[in-house]
Chains A and B, each alone.
Chain A
Amino acid sequence: RKEVEQDPGPFNVPEGATVAFNCTYSNSASQSFFWYRQDCRKEPKLLMSVYSSGNEDGRFTAQLNRASQYISLLIRDSKLSDSATYLCVVNMGNAGNMLTFGGGTRLMVKP
Chain B
Amino acid sequence: NAGVTQTPKFRVLKTGQSMTLLCAQDMNHEYMYWYRQDPGMGLRLIHYSVGEGTTAKGEVPDGYNVSRLKKQNFLLGLESAAPSQTSVYFCASSSPAGGQPEAFFGQGTRLTVV
Contact = CB atoms under 8 A, between A and B. Distances in A.
A20 interface: no
B90 interface: yes
B105 interface: yes
B56 A96 contact: yes
Nearest to B6: A43
A43 B31 contact: no
In this complex, the member of B40, B56, B101, B106 whose beta carbon has the largest number of chain A beta carbons within 10 angstroms is B101
Nearest to B50: A96
A91 interface: yes
Interface in A17-75: 32, 34, 41-46, 49
Contact of A101 (B40, B43, B102, B106): B43
A101 B46 CA distance: 13
A97 B42 contact: no
Interface of A: 4, 8, 32, 34, 41-46, 49, 87, 91, 95-104
